Structure 1
Amino acid sequence: MLRSPRRSPSRPPLAPLALAGLLTSALLAGCGAADDAAPARSESSPAAPASDRATGADGADEATGAEPDPDAPTGWGPTEGELAQARETVAGWDAARLAGQVVVGRYRGTDPAEAAALVGDLGLAGLSVTAENVVDADQVRALTAAVGEAHAATGRAWPPVLGVDQEGGVVSHLDGVATDFPSFATAGTVVETDGRAGQRVVRDAAEALALELRALGFTWVWAPVGDVTVGAADPTIGSRSPSEEPQVASRAVASALRGYRDAALASTVKHFPGHGSVTADSHEVLPLLDASLAELQARDLVPFRRAVEVGAPAVMVGHLDTRAVAPGVPSSTAPEVYDLLRDDLGFEGVAVTDSLGMGAVAAVPKPAVAALAAGADLLLMPVDTRRTVGTLTAAIEDGTVPRERAEEAAARVVALQLWLARTTGEVAVPEDADARAAEAARALEEAAY
């Protein structure tokens, strides 16, 4: 991210990896679940842990033959009914519409009309706003409103993806517009030193940050960071990581995810399978994640596994050469990495790529096509948004990306947008969201020191 289908039958299962995942999950269930349990809070739209119940292609429960309860949670945000509605909606779309629905675009400049035209013309899922698109709060609200209107004009009765990299600390694209929260490392310090009380502080801070983003018109945040940093040898993540300790990072991530959910803002834990232990910057090159499967399970994957358990709606897949899983290629374009996320960690939500404008994927001829075919659901910030949508359309039409894969991706994205439509109507944005955010940022800072 800028600083500022299920496994194919032809691919063998990752049996050793799955076994390691089951063992790790069992250990976490025995010692980790209680560690990051937060005090009880009323949940307007809880994301329950993912169900083990298998369903067939028609949505029926394979064990009982009964239709699933439409109000039952999927485990990552939307209900079973919203997911079924999303699948039915995208089933009749042509290739161009499917292609647009899985892309979050980028644009240059600050003119809201240009941003709206890009989303409306291409039928994009939405837009990611960066610092170069920002002037002041009024302009940001005008931009998000214009994109929302253009999105609605295409006949989609759900909010667009209006995302922003607003982690706190060094990665805050709304500098001078939104509250300056401390880095996520501060959250790690708070949960490590103050236990459950610290987790409440982190959760409240994430909720306040999210409500302020919603007040500006955003629907999605590209946070929290789930990477476990190795400290000084990590040139990219550093203080963006909550901790060098996997269990501490897990508690911080879980608390933040709950806070974002409390505020009805979609969130994205990143950068799977873990960017904190590599010594190169994926903005420039393809970093080597040279860890064994056992090391990944014991360190890098721990916060992501916990994120899935608490109902993360989206996971960002980074651009990493993950030697133990898919050597020599960016993880964002590797089917084996999506298998790891889905089959080993049990994630059923939206898999988002890191920005496709980064140096790590510059050598991939058609990175958006490769990522979608591999298992990504949402393609973030390609270098040329218009050209990318055209390339994806052709790939769906000629079968390079099977239509079933494109529909699966689009349906997951739409389902989460339907969740947004419902929950944003249930959770009001307070008039003093900015003041509350400022107070929450101070409380987080004070709790750490």
Structure 2
Amino acid sequence: MNGPEGERPVDRTPHRHRGLRPRRSRRGVVLGGLGLLGAGALGSAAAWAGTRLTGSGGDVASEATGSPVAQRSSAASSGPSGTDEPETSTDTGTDTGDTAADADTLTSWGPTLGEVEQARALVAEMSAAALAGQVIVGRFASPDPTVPAALVRDLGLAGVCVTPDSVTDGEQVRALTAAVEAAVRETRPDVPAVIGVDEEGGSVSHLSGVATTFPAFATAGVAVTASGGAGRRAVREAARWTGTELRGLGFTWVFAPVADVTVGAADVTIGTRSPSSDPEVAATAVTSAVRGYERAGIVSTPKHFPGHGSATVDSHESLPVITSSLEDLRARDLVPFEAAVAAGAPAIMVGHLDVTALETEGLPTSLAPEAYAYLREELGFEGVAITDSLGMGAVMATPGSAVKALAAGADLLLMPADTSATHDNLRRAILDGRVPRERAEEAATRVVALQLWQARAAAATPVPEDVTVRTQQAAADLSTAAYG
């Protein structure tokens, strides 16, 4: 039965307990685990992308018509988000046991199998230099649109992150994002740009004075606690309209929502950026936000896996050490991330944290294969894993951090301290095998497929002329749901 918000309850059963049984996502029926990129057939793409087909006579996974993404797919019907259970159709295999996947079948994280296969084909033709660029979101600090455009064009980057140093007013921001989009089209006409921004609300609002002001995300947790279904709806609509407003400014990604569970005063970094100190409340707020951003046609990025809320050191300055047991992490920090995966999060940001329960060599989670393996295999996440900024103190002292992150399992590398040097290091690492080409192609394929989804979702969800008025109302409604 759907809740008051029109959402089904989130299945937070740990992925490790699902075994090889199909699990229902909002976008389709999938099996856990990623296959390696192999033959070009859609069946192979299905196995890799998170929608695996059974053998002869087995069920063929199909899209979830209740999802906004499904509604935008050419094979889906219209209707409000989350109002219907996922539908499955059956199809028999050939005499040899092969089954053909419908290109419109949706993965658990957004793109269709056709988009995954399109991305795979585009990536297969890329040089090592192009592959290196496709997995980097560049760093720059200038309001001049020609600066990021030149960076993207020269290095073939996936895109850039816009920071306060690069923002003056709305007209300038639109000119900047348009210049970046045009530069990406010059280098890769078929691949939309990654143009991201930290716009969480509260203290982390990098478009302050340009975008609508929202309260800190802690307000979302208060709203779902104080107002139940109305609170969840307010959180969802706040995400929907801030995401839509960001799209009107030319953004395709938002580095939000924060999925960290704060421990209170000892938490020196996250604080009110966290939705709650209660894992279940935080999970509910994150779920609603992910669904709201999806409705807006923008890529959301729950962060900072596996949870920064209990860190007593700021990772912007040095590497926090979290000594909680895996049992404690499962009971607290990981709960909102499980919920985000179940809600269909398209991307998750991996933080720079030394989590001893996951990795024993003192590596930041963003560089640790064990962290990505847990995210994939235990939580069942199949979308884009993006690092936190690689220009932060927690990883700056680690030589070759970008190469190590990509080899460990990251798909997208955010804001390395020196974008040009990082690009060259990655190019050489792909050529000499420190990063196997298969790993680089896997990462780039996820990024390209997600951008194809974002472009399709955005095209189906035009930004209305009164977006500012609607966004301001959503901000006011969130505060009302929280505090009356």
SS in structure 1 at match of 2:332: helix
> Do 1:167 and 1:240's aligned partners in 2 also have CA atoms closer than 8 Å?
yes
- Residues 73, 185 of structure 1: CA spacing in aligned structure 2 closer, same or farther, 3 A cutoff? same
Give the match for residue 81 of structure 1.
Answer: 114
Give the match for residue 66 of structure 1.
Answer: 99
Give the match for residue 431 of structure 1.
Answer: 465
Give matches, 1:34-433, under 5 Å. Answer: 48=27, 51-52=30-31, 57-58=38-39, 59-60=42-43, 61=53, 63-64=55-56, 65-327=98-360, 328-433=362-467
1:154-173 CA-partner distances (Å, limit 9, x unpaired): 13323200000000000000
How far apart are 1:70 and its partner, in Å? 1.1
How far apart are 1:67 and its partner, in Å? 2.4
- Residues 49, 188 of structure 1: CA spacing in aligned structure 2 closer, same or farther, 3 A cutoff? farther
> Do 1:377 and 1:412's aligned partners in 2 also have CA atoms closer than 8 Å?
yes
How far apart are 1:50 and its partner, in Å? 6.0
The alignment of Structure 1 onto Structure 2 pairs a total of residues equal to 413
1:372-420 CA-partner distances (Å, limit 9, x unpaired): 0000000000001111101100000000000000000000000000001
> Do 1:24 and 1:298's aligned partners in 2 also have CA atoms closer than 8 Å?
no
SS in structure 1 at match of 2:316: coil
1:336-358 CA-partner distances (Å, limit 9, x unpaired): 00000000000000000000000
Greater helix fraction, Structure 1 or Structure 2: 1
**Cα distance in 2, alignment partners of residues 399 and 362 from structure 1:** 23
> Do 1:49 and 1:309's aligned partners in 2 also have CA atoms closer than 8 Å?
no
Q: Which has the higher contact order (CA 8 A, sep 6+)?
A: 1
Extract unaligned runs of 5+ from structure 1: 1-18, 34-45
Letter in 2 for 1:253: V
**Cα distance in 2, alignment partners of residues 22 and 388 from structure 1:** 35
> Do 1:352 and 1:378's aligned partners in 2 also have CA atoms closer than 8 Å?
yes
Q: CA RMSD in A?
A: 1.8
SS in structure 1 at match of 2:200: strand
1:222-279 CA-partner distances (Å, limit 9, x unpaired): 0000000001110000000000011100100000000000010011000000000110
Letter in 1 for 2:138: G
Seq. identity, %: 58
**Cα distance in 1, alignment partners of residues 108 and 282 from structure 2:** 21
1:54-95 CA-partner distances (Å, limit 9, x unpaired): 767334235342122211111101011101111111011110
Letter in 1 for 2:420: R
**Cα distance in 2, alignment partners of residues 360 and 252 from structure 1:** 28
How far apart are 1:21 and its partner, in Å? 5.3
Letter in 2 for 1:373: A
**Cα distance in 1, alignment partners of residues 315 and 447 from structure 2:** 25
**Cα distance in 1, alignment partners of residues 257 and 227 from structure 2:** 20
SS in structure 2 at match of 1:167: strand
**Cα distance in 2, alignment partners of residues 198 and 20 from structure 1:** 26
How far apart are 1:20 and its partner, in Å? 6.7
**Cα distance in 2, alignment partners of residues 191 and 23 from structure 1:** 28
